[in-house]
Amino acid sequence: MSPDQSMPDLVTAITELDEQGALSLVQSRLQAGDDPFAIMAACEAGMRHVGERYEERLYYLSGLIMAGEIFREAVELLRPALETRTVAQSAGRILLGTVQGDIHDIGKNMLSMLLTSHGFVVIDLGVDVPPEVFVQRAITEQPDVVCLSCLISSAFESMRVTVDLLKTHRAAEHVYLPILIGGGTIDEHLVGYIGADHWAVDAMDGVRLCHRLVAERTSNDR
């Protein structure tokens, strides 16, 4: 069942930028014992509708800003329920950032939180990160996987350049460094153009992929 069907009230509250309504629905759903990931999916669905309204010129930039703030607050409420897992040993090191030219960070921060709650050490470079910085930090931090986030088409080119530089680095140094890209506007055609190794639209799929990539590395090292 889609979030529009299972939690229509929450999806609508976010779509309508009803901050108080959305946050009290998140709280009551949590208290009722609903799955925090399902609640988050409903918030994401609301954000998609906000994006559509922006495209249709029903909302302006202020609408996007407001939606971003509501989503951030909703994630804060959900965080304790999402971060229930404690892992003794690190699952791997992830270098993460939003590429140069893009300042969207809500999805990136969510991926960071989920990775952390699944035992990964996350080196988060923030937003608007130049390609050279990704490479410099790949050298100093020696991550197992690099994750790039990008939501706007005007930053696709900088993501392509970043992937290119990272691939040149790993070929020169003979290091295992899979590159995973993600963000709501990524699709398989774009992945071909960007040249990344892997992609995921959903943060949880990204976490599963990181687990798999680290496991593959570990079995190759044996």
Alpha-carbon distance of 3 to 10, in angstroms, equals 9
CB of 131 to ligand B12, least distance (A): 16
CB nearer ligand B12, residue 171 or residue 201: 201
CB of 82 to ligand B12, least distance (A): 12
CB nearer ligand B12, residue 160 or residue 222: 160
Whether the CB-CB separation of 160 and 152 falls below 8 Å is answered with: no
CB nearer ligand B12, residue 57 or residue 174: 57
CB of 22 to ligand B12, least distance (A): 13
Sheet holding 179-182, edge to edge: 120-124, 92-98, 145-149, 179-182, 198-200
CB of 77 to ligand B12, least distance (A): 15
CB nearer ligand B12, residue 91 or residue 222: 91
Tokens, residue 191: 């992945």
Q: What is the helix, strand, coil percentage profile of the chain, to 5?
A: 60, 10, 25
Binding region for ligand B12 (CB under 6 A): 44, 47-48, 50-51, 54-55, 61, 64-65, 67-68, 71, 101-108, 110-111, 147-149, 151-153, 180-185, 200-203, 206
Nearest to 213 by CA among 201, 202, 200: 200
Tokens, residue 133: 């910085």
